[in-house]
Structure 1
Amino acid sequence: MLEGSTILVTGGTGSFGSRFIPMTLAKYKPRRIIVYSRDEMKQWEMAKRFEGVDALRFFIGDVRDRERLYRALDGVDHVVHAAATKIVPTAEYNPFECVKTNITGAMHVIDACIDKGVKSCVALSTDKASSPVNLYGATKLASDKMFVAGNSYAGGNGCRFSVVRYGNVMGSRGSVIPFFLDREGTLPITDPRMTRFMITLEQGVELVWHAFEDMVGGEIYVKKIPSMTIAQIAEAVAPGRPTEVVGIRPGEKLHEQMIGPEDAAHTFEYPEHFKILPAIHHWSRDPGRIKDGKPVPEGFEYVSDTNSEWMSVESLRLWTEANRDKVGRI
């Protein structure tokens, strides 16, 4: 689907875009990838990293700016919507700004994709959108709902929308791994019982690729990934260092949830992922969307503390050592 196409990535200079672009250029040879973001310095730095790559274009713009999005989407075949206000405390202290980007911005992307004849759009979501307890999660839940319903607005021959959902990316700027690596002395631990899902950027990119190839419209894709406790992460990254329990920050969960029991009736399992199908329009009964999926049990939850797959301390330590030059810079 992506072969020889024109792809636009909102928030394209962020962690996801920094990995999606080289991987997609190598695998699919798209005609053009357009990086759409509001930070000119990040665009300048990315342009230097990809100097000589003729397929890459840069477009200064904000998803809050409807008119600018319409201009950027001229001739675009596919969109990855990665732009968002993501830091939980930032969203709590700046709720109006978070809503403008994560909800109003999502609405602009949906409208622009439909009106400009884009073929498909995959939006990035977060574990925090499942049973949200903070504003960031609440705005992303609203965004997810809009992208699902966008398939109705687009009609039978319009743009197809789907969502991919995953948690914090290992080694990204917002993750705890670079924080522990750079920290001297005692490591602050929120709660030793806290668990988190573990996913690499490469796995996130591959999930987006799969969504583009598989989607009919309205699906939420959740990749099967391992869990770790925060204490295990600290031991893997900074072995032998003393820790201090400092308590959970406002808006944080003790465990990450990707799929809540309320979604179990519309969730199907596949070898490497789950798929939450829309409750609206009876789409969750559509064989074209279900394909070879198996329904999950009644009351099923996908939560980091009850996960069946766990990453070992040694595995994370080896990953951190192999990716030390990239940790905190992606």
Structure 2
Amino acid sequence: MSKAKIINFEVSSADLNAVFDQKTVLVTGGTGSFGRAFVRSVLERCTPRKVIVYSRDEQKQFDMAQHPAFADYAKTLRFFIGDVRDYDRLEMALREVDYVIHAAALKHVPAAEYNPMECIKTNVHGAENLAMAAIRTGVQKVIALSTDKAVNPVNLYGASKLASDKIFVAANSLSGDHGPRFAVARYGNVIGSRGSIVPFFREIIANGAKQLPITDPEMTRFWITLGQGVSFVFSCLQMMKRGEIFVPKIPSMAVVDLARVLAPDLPHETIGIRPGEKLHEVLVTEDDARNTIELPDRFVIRPTLYPDWASGYHEEERPLRDGYRYASNNNPHFLDSEGMKYLLKESELS
């Protein structure tokens, strides 16, 4: 796949600043991979009134504040230690906030299976806390990050994110005509994010592995760079109305092909699909397709109870055909080795 077919979802700096100019934005999970990239982009490209990082780990906040990319923005950048499980602290942090990007989550599949109640407290109760606090404090817009694992989930992490998505879509019914607007941005694997397969492969290669473990030679995944993910969320915040689930058109790749790109001379060991893992991921199901419109660069899943909330985005928008399924194995945009090398380079991982 050539790089020309990779959509970057870029929003111009002028349009972006029109959204964030003199606005206050809070990012839950703001010290994570996405949060840091999002905050950095807002600070460098816009003139916000304030950017608030809301997270639990004071050491990560300290390290972020001292990092050269953020050190010059001390007057604009604020850090709140807090947990989305703590409603009172969350409501306090949301006072005078205009936009919220909800990136906080417990996302490691095995950890969620072993600690189910902790996963639910953060991913489900945390979503409920954020929705209610946003309504009560008068936030304007909330974008919640989701995952392809929330679609037809087979593990607790995916199920908890599905519940979270439902909460944020339904929150529009609670906020009324003049309250906050809520939407969801749902996409696939972020190349190079913590806990993902690229750092895993690179680590075992660096440690002298004689072969790479492959769960299944047929396994496929959706792929998106961190920069694409940030730009996609920017564009969602710009165009959202209420209750949508935005799904980007992003490429797929076979996991075995990724292994060949990273270590072309190493053999593979098939170890079998792990518990809670799928052979292929899905971003739009056949059932969702009946209520989904297609735009040039994305799909928009409209809220089931109020589909009229979400329409009129683009002159080329059109409904999906019956039975359409957007999955990592039937994706018309499939990466070859050169396409993956390009994305790895874009992610600064090559």
TM-score bracket, shorter-length normalisation: over 0.9
Query: Relative to 1, partners in 2 of residues 1:195 and 1:107: Cα closer, same or farther, differing over 3 Å?
Result: same
The question of whether the paired residues in 2 share the 8 Å contact of 1:237 and 1:316 is answered with: no
Partner deviation per Cα, 1:135-161 (whole Å, 9 max, x = no partner): 111111111011001001000000000
> Greater shift after overlay, 15-24 or 5-14?
15-24
The question of whether the paired residues in 1 share the 8 Å contact of 2:106 and 2:119 is answered with: yes
- Which of 202, 213, 217 is the matching residue for 2:227? 202
Q: Which amino acid aligns with 1:243?
A: H
Which residue in the other structure is 2:20 paired with?
Answer: 2
Deviation at 1:287, TM superposition (A): 4.1
How far apart, CA to CA, are the structure 2 residues paired with 1:221 and 1:150? 16
Deviation at 1:257, TM superposition (A): 0.6
Which residue in the other structure is 1:155 paired with?
Answer: 176
How far apart, CA to CA, are the structure 1 residues paired with 2:158 and 2:139? 27
Q: Secondary structure at the match of 2:53?
A: strand
The question of whether the paired residues in 1 share the 8 Å contact of 2:291 and 2:307 is answered with: no
Which residue in the other structure is 1:138 paired with?
Answer: 159
Q: Does 1:66 align with 2:87?
A: yes
Q: Secondary structure at the match of 2:190?
A: coil
Instruction: Write out aligned runs for 1:131-280 (5 A).
Output: 131-183=152-204, 184-280=209-305
Deviation at 1:203, TM superposition (A): 0.9
Partner deviation per Cα, 1:87-127 (whole Å, 9 max, x = no partner): 11111111100000000000000001000000000000000
Which residue in the other structure is 1:51 paired with?
Answer: 71
How far apart, CA to CA, are the structure 1 residues paired with 2:307 and 2:94? 31
Aligned-residue sequence identity (percent) comes to 51
Deviation at 1:283, TM superposition (A): 3.1
Q: Which runs of 4+ in 1 moved over 6 A?
A: none
Query: Relative to 1, partners in 2 of residues 1:100 and 1:219: Cα closer, same or farther, differing over 3 Å?
Result: same
Q: How many residues align?
A: 325
Which residue in the other structure is 1:20 paired with?
Answer: 38
How far apart, CA to CA, are the structure 1 residues paired with 2:113 and 2:82? 24
Deviation at 1:278, TM superposition (A): 0.6
The question of whether the paired residues in 2 share the 8 Å contact of 1:268 and 1:290 is answered with: no
Query: Relative to 1, partners in 2 of residues 1:156 and 1:292: Cα closer, same or farther, differing over 3 Å?
Result: farther
Aligned-CA RMSD value: 1.5
Query: Relative to 1, partners in 2 of residues 1:323 and 1:140: Cα closer, same or farther, differing over 3 Å?
Result: closer
Deviation at 1:213, TM superposition (A): 1.1
Which residue in the other structure is 2:337 paired with?
Answer: 313
> Greater shift after overlay, 130-139 or 45-54?
45-54
Deviation at 1:321, TM superposition (A): 4.9
How far apart, CA to CA, are the structure 2 residues paired with 1:116 and 1:321? 42
TM-score normalised by the chain length of structure 1: 0.95
Deviation at 1:27, TM superposition (A): 2.4
Query: Relative to 1, partners in 2 of residues 1:290 and 1:99: Cα closer, same or farther, differing over 3 Å?
Result: farther
The question of whether the paired residues in 1 share the 8 Å contact of 2:212 and 2:269 is answered with: yes
The question of whether the paired residues in 2 share the 8 Å contact of 1:62 and 1:69 is answered with: yes
Query: Relative to 1, partners in 2 of residues 1:282 and 1:305: Cα closer, same or farther, differing over 3 Å?
Result: closer
Deviation at 1:55, TM superposition (A): 1.3
Q: Secondary structure at the match of 1:76?
A: coil
Structure 1, unaligned stretches of length 5 or more?
Answer: none
Query: Relative to 1, partners in 2 of residues 1:303 and 1:322: Cα closer, same or farther, differing over 3 Å?
Result: closer
Q: Secondary structure at the match of 1:314?
A: helix
Query: Relative to 1, partners in 2 of residues 1:291 and 1:58: Cα closer, same or farther, differing over 3 Å?
Result: farther
Query: Relative to 1, partners in 2 of residues 1:138 and 1:291: Cα closer, same or farther, differing over 3 Å?
Result: farther
Q: Secondary structure at the match of 1:248?
A: coil
Deviation at 1:291, TM superposition (A): 6.6
